[in-house]
Homo-oligomer: A and B are copies of this chain.
Amino acid sequence: MTHQTVGHPARPGLPDDPRANVTEPTPSCPVEITLAALHGRWTTLVIREFLQGDRTFTELRRALPALSDKVLSDRLAHLTEAGVLDRRRHPGWPPRVHYTLTPHGRRLGPVLQALWDWGTQHQPLPPAEPQ
């Protein structure tokens, strides 16, 4: 089955988009864009927090105690730059910063859901005997 009808209904592949024809990893590929947004340890857990509402730095630190300040700061900056989070500094003392999902960030819900669903269907195979 080397060839495949292009017009096949319920086609399991990806869209017929010029960006789907790349032959090496490139940042302009939509899949790479999304994986770049999700990139890094802790990132999906941070996003999960925001799917329940906005958060401050300290609230996140309490929710994810094993996450260091530096990495949390990195993740928030990264997600903000990726257009996933909106950063809002509140005036006064003590300084408070609220982060919220942008509309674009909220659309990561279905993405994480897809990742979740595949993972739940995963049954680890018994180690294949050498043939």
Number of residues of chain A lying within 8 A (CB) of chain B:
66
CB of A1 to closest CB in B, whole Å: 5
Copies of this polypeptide in the complex = 2
Contact B114 A63 (CB under 8 A): no
- A122 close to B (CB within 8 Å): yes
CB of A57 to closest CB in B, whole Å: 15
Q: A89-B131, A116-B31, A120-B30 are in contact. Are A12 and B109 (CB under 8 A)?
A: yes
Q: A20-B48, A22-B45, A109-B13 are in contact. Are A30 and B64 (CB under 8 A)?
A: no
Contact B119 A29 (CB under 8 A): yes
What residues on B are CB-neighbors of A124 within 8 Å? 83
* Known contacts A14-B48, A32-B119, then 6 further A-B pairs from the complex at CB < 8 Å, ordered by chain A residue: A1-B54, A13-B52, A17-B120, A31-B44, A31-B112, A113-B114
